Amino acid sequence: MTTFAELGLAPDILRALDEMGYASPTPIQEQVIPLALQGGDILGAAQTGTGKTAAFALPLIQRLLPFANTGTSPAKHPIRALILTPTRELAIQVEESVKAYCKHVPLRSLVVYGGVNINTQIPILKTGVEILVATPGRLLDHVQNKTLMLTQVNTLVLDEADRMLDMGFMPDLKRIVALLPAQRVNMMFSATFPEEIRKLADSILNNPAFIEVARNATAVTITQVMHPVHHERKRQLLAHLIKSRDLNQVLVFTGTKLGCNRLANELNKAGIHADAIHGDKTQQERIKALDAFKAGTIRVLVATDVAARGIDIEALPFVVNYDLPHNAEDYVHRIGRTGRAGAQGEAISLVSESETRYLRDIEKLIGNTLEPVIVPGFEPGAAEVPAYQSRAPRQPERHGERERGAPRGRPAAVRDALFDTPYTPSDAPRPDTAPAALRQAPKKQVAALFRSPVKPDTAGQ
Ligand code: AMP
């Protein structure tokens, strides 16, 4: 087994890793670190949970070691590395990791993100930091306020680039990149590679090495279970699973902010201590909920996709898809919260009839079928639908709302529709590890990289 020392990392960095209990590099670290130490551009296909933060942060820190100093003058601590992340939570976690890796070297780091008073960030920026972790919007606020300078940046990292795209940060990214010195090292990580991401990679990266670890590193560490259930009974089923299986530290995903709040309230009423995080919560509220969840004082954290992005809890044991995501890639991101860095985890999906199309998209993407496991007493047809609703016309289920006129008295038909239709993936699993999104014909420079042989991921094997 390769060691971090064999990857060429400096003793002071090795010491920090040792203290953090990192015994050996993960597959992405093994591949990225030697290349990044040489200063080459990197395009990484890796999801959260693979150890990608250390993969980019460790070589970045090592390459800054010649600049490390204990001088007090701000001029001695210009921003030399910029790490952009889509969310505040991820930014915070990345910077926490950077700080820990830098424990024995005099390099300073700082995280800046929106939603909090910008004035609290300015004094620290003024004292000088070498490594800045930022969300794009807040970074531009600082640029506009002239509270930071990017003229000495020699390394740019774009973390979770696909999510930045989803969140509409593309114009901000372009503006930021235009402010950086042309001579720099670039690393970009993304779990998925839609066309726009390939274009972005083409425009930012210079002859990058393409490094991929299987998105379904999930397959080896995460057990995926799917419970078919009538949507009206999801809450009871969830409470039943948590209580009967004595589940703790359960991260539950809902599709809407409203549904998120409601579910947390209902779980609390059912005697299960829960809290919710979503985009309408303040940063302080989110951090408080996350800390309580990490500390185990709350048992269930209900979250929307955006709010949960970047949540990093050591060996999070359970992730529940209360609502299936409409975007199949979010499924991969969600379940990536469990079974991290080699730990075991379980991803539980509660699937109602109206979600079967999302289920199929997910199965197509992961190249696998999720076996339905019916929980006795929660058979999908067994909804307790109030009589007055039974004559209303059928409408598609919407997240956060009850489906009116749900099918009644036709359990067999419901089950048929749900699970008995044979499912044949049109994009059958292939022996290679490339995610489906990568298999489409890519373009230009990055296209060549997608065709080059990649080292198969051996995580957890
Ligand atoms: P990431 O994918 O970067 O979010 O990392 C996921 C989790 O794995 C974090 O909690 C890291 O601290 C942890 N981690 C990263 N690399 C290693 C390693 N080589 N050994 C043990 N844990 C690691």
User: What are the structural domain ranges in the chain?
Assistant: 5-213, 222-387+404-422+430-450
pLDDT at 219 over 80: no
CA of 28 to the centre of ligand 1 (A): 11
**Pocket residue to mutate for ligand 1, from 56, 94, 97, most atoms within 8 A of Cβ:** 97
Q: Specify the higher pLDDT residue, 245 or 287.
A: 245
pLDDT at 1: 78
CA dist list (Å): 223 to 228, 323, 346, 432: 16, 18, 5, 21
pLDDT at 313: 61
pLDDT, average across residues 184-206: 92
**Residue 34 CB: number of other CB atoms within 10 A?**
17
- Type of residue numbered 85: T
Cβ atoms of 407 and 381 within 8 Å: the answer is yes
pLDDT at 391 over 80: no
Across 12-21, 32-41, 213-222, 405-414, least confident range = 405-414
Encoding tokens for residue 237?
Answer: 């089923």
Rounded-to-integer distance, Cα 138 and Cα 118, Å: 8
Q: Specify the higher pLDDT residue, 223 or 277.
A: 277
CATH superfamily of 5-213: P-loop containing nucleotide triphosphate hydrolases (3.40.50.300)
pLDDT at 284: 84
Phi first, then psi, for residue 95 (nearest 5°) are: -70, -35
pLDDT at 143: 97
Phi first, then psi, for residue 319 (nearest 5°) are: -125, 130
pLDDT, average across residues 321-328: 92
**Residue 259 CB: number of other CB atoms within 10 A?**
21
Cβ atoms of 322 and 350 within 8 Å: the answer is yes
Across 53-67, 160-174, 290-304, 380-394, least confident range = 380-394
Rounded-to-integer distance, Cα 324 and Cα 342, Å: 25
Per-residue b or e along 448-459, where b marks 16 or more CB atoms closer than 10 Å to that residue's CB: ebbeeebeebeb
pLDDT at 214: 61
CA of 307 to the centre of ligand 1 (A): 20
**Pocket residue to mutate for ligand 1, from 1, 7, 26, most atoms within 8 A of Cβ:** 26
CA of 104 to the centre of ligand 1 (A): 19
Coil vs helix vs strand at 62: helix
CA of 158 to the centre of ligand 1 (A): 18
pLDDT at 229: 94
pLDDT, average across residues 41-64: 92
pLDDT at 215: 52
pLDDT at 282: 83
**Pocket residue to mutate for ligand 1, from 3, 53, 190, 337, most atoms within 8 A of Cβ:** 53
Instruction: Categorise residue 68: left if φ over 0, alpha if ψ from -120 to 50, beta otherwise.
Output: beta
pLDDT at 328: 86
pLDDT at 332: 81
pLDDT, average across residues 192-205: 90
Which amino acid residue places its CA nearest to atom 22 of ligand 1? 22
Q: Specify the higher pLDDT residue, 1 or 145.
A: 145
Rounded-to-integer distance, Cα 261 and Cα 331, Å: 21
Averaged pLDDT score across all residues of the chain = 80
CA dist list (Å): 171 to 104, 180, 279: 37, 15, 21
**Residue 343 pLDDT class (50, 70, 90 cuts):** low
**Residue 345 pLDDT class (50, 70, 90 cuts):** confident
Exposed (0-12), middle (13-18) or buried (19+): which is 73, by Cβ within 10 Å? exposed
Going by C-beta distance under 8 Å and a sequence separation of 6 or more, which residues neighbour residue 259? 322, 323, 399, 400
CA of 139 to the centre of ligand 1 (A): 26
**Residue 110 CB: number of other CB atoms within 10 A?**
20
Across 94-103, 170-179, 382-391, 403-412, least confident range = 403-412
pLDDT at 33 over 70: yes
Which amino acid residue places its CA nearest to atom 11 of ligand 1? 51
pLDDT, average across residues 136-160: 96
What residues does ligand 1 touch, defined as CB less than 6 Å away? 22, 25-26, 29, 48-54, 312, 314, 340-341
Provide Rg for the chain, Cα atoms. Answer: 23
Would you give the distance in Å from CA 163 to the centre of its chain?
Answer: 8
pLDDT, average across residues 27-32: 93
Ligand 1 atom showing the smallest separation from residue 4 Cα: 19
Return the CATH number of the domain spanning residue range 222-387+404-422+430-450.
3.40.50.300
pLDDT at 127: 95
Rounded-to-integer distance, Cα 2 and Cα 109, Å: 29
CA of 457 to the centre of ligand 1 (A): 16
pLDDT at 57 over 70: yes
Q: Specify the higher pLDDT residue, 319 or 315.
A: 319
pLDDT at 460: 31
CA of 222 to the centre of ligand 1 (A): 16
The H or E element spanning position 226 is: strand 222-228
Across 89-103, 168-182, 338-352, least confident range = 338-352
What is the number of helices (H) and of strands (E) in the chain? Answer: 19, 13
pLDDT, average across residues 330-359: 82
Task: Outline where 81-121 has alpha helix (H).
Answer: 88-101
- Greatest extent of the chain over all pairs of C-alpha atoms, in Å: 76
Ligand 1 atom showing the smallest separation from residue 313 Cα: 10
**Residue 12 CB: number of other CB atoms within 10 A?**
17
Across 144-148, 161-165, 288-292, 329-333, least confident range = 329-333
CA of 103 to the centre of ligand 1 (A): 16
Coil vs helix vs strand at 186: strand
Comparing 5-213 with 222-387+404-422+430-450, is the CATH topology the same?
yes
To the nearest 10°, report the CA torsion of 381, 243, 357, 391: 40
Would you give the distance in Å from CA 304 to the centre of its chain?
Answer: 12
Q: Specify the higher pLDDT residue, 166 or 235.
A: 235
End-to-end, the C-alpha distance of the chain in Å comes to 12
Q: What share of the chain is helix, strand, coil (3-state, %, to 5)?
A: 45, 15, 45
**Residue 291 pLDDT class (50, 70, 90 cuts):** confident
